[in-house]
Amino acid sequence: MGTEAAVICLQPARAAAVDAARETVQRTFERFEAALSAWDGASELSRINGLAGTGRKFKAGGEILRVCRAAKELAVLSGGAFNPLVGPAMKLYGFNGADGMQTFPDRKALDAIPADPADIEISAGGEISLAKAGMKLDLGGIAKGAAVDAAFEALVRAGLDGGAMVDLGGNLRAGGAGPAEGGGWEVAVRDPFSKGASAARIRLEPGEAVATSGNYERFRTIGGKRVSHILDGRTRLPSSGVAGCTVVAGDAMTADGLSTTLFILGPEDGARFLKDSGISASALWIPDSPESREIIVNGAMARRLAESAEGWRVRRLP
């Protein structure tokens, strides 16, 4: 999945248990990679994309079916801000293995990309089809979280979750007693303007998950301007105004998808989206303005904010 993975076990150092935990997580991630990879032509995802516009349906396995349903639901709820069909647009900007662009893509080329989430068809029987030729699913904005959930749940079933955290590229889910004071878990929120530094620390309850979307790891410079890889699915334009968005939710797939969605929507619209949709989540935004050093949180995140780093001020949304 193009990133690093780790599993942390805080149980008594029993080599067999640690090895079992590592193998359990690795097998789970390999299974998700085989199903959801946009790079592997034999993956279920690639086979679905290959049938776009033909009218033929693909009988999906449990993992990809669950992720596709969640991705479509979030796309509809967000009015298309989160959009699993923006992969072709990302290529036009020079992401996803494409050659680097020196100029911004032509507006007509962006508009020609079929990217209406309503055209993702999922039957009650688990068949997936893409209504229009040229449509391509890219589940990178939510699949890592789903893989973390599956790995974490596998640890629970194996009895290996008594103080454990699963991490896939910064998508985390932790259970049992943690190493923080009082036996809980605390997670650092990265300072997007200073590598290796943190802007805040937040608390997690056992079983909760956290995900962060940011513009500081994957970007291109086009015409002297830094361009984020996170595209607004409504406009197919790079999202701007936010440097990082961190979300805590009850599961990692929800946190992963929401971190992308709320990054695109920004603080005010994002907080309103959570209220209107009834989704329970804690959200934190860092505006893309290094001079402000501002952290913006919704009420749920304010209650779990352990501390903010020196020089940072916290603003709570009503």
Largest CA distance in the chain: 59
C-alpha separations of 12 from 15, 30, 197 in Å: 9, 27, 31
When mean pLDDT is compared across 2-6, 60-64, 212-216, the lowest value belongs to 2-6
Query: Is the pLDDT score of 13 beyond 60?
Result: no
Of 55, 90, 68, 33, which is closest to residue 236 (Cα–Cα)?
A: 90
Of 209, 184, 225, which Cα lies nearest the Cα of 259?
Answer: 209
Q: Three-state DSSP class for 104?
A: coil
pLDDT digits (tens, 9 = 90+) for 215-259: 887 667 766 677 788 999 999 999 999 999 999 999 999 999 999
Tell whether the model's pLDDT for residue 82 goes beyond 90. yes
* CATH number of the structural domain 1-318: 3.10.520.10
Two tokens, residue 141: 């904005």
Take residue 81 and report the two structure tokens written for it: 């801000």
Strand partners, 107: none
As a whole number of angstroms, the distance between CA 195 and CA 231 comes to 23
Q: Give 127's contacts (C-beta < 8 A, 6+ positions apart).
A: 57, 58, 59, 60
Check residue 226 and give its pLDDT.
72
pLDDT at 1 over 90: no
Q: Which element (helix H / strand E) includes 270?
A: helix 267-277
pTM of the model as a whole: 0.93
Q: Which two tokens stand for residue 309?
A: 């780093």
pLDDT at 61: 85
Residue 128 burial (C-beta neighbours within 10 Å; 0-12, 13-18, 19+): buried
Q: What is the dihedral of CA 30, 35, 36, 42, to 10 degrees?
A: 110
Is residue 96's pLDDT more than 80? Answer: no
Residue 273: which of 79, 95, 120 has the closest Cα? 79
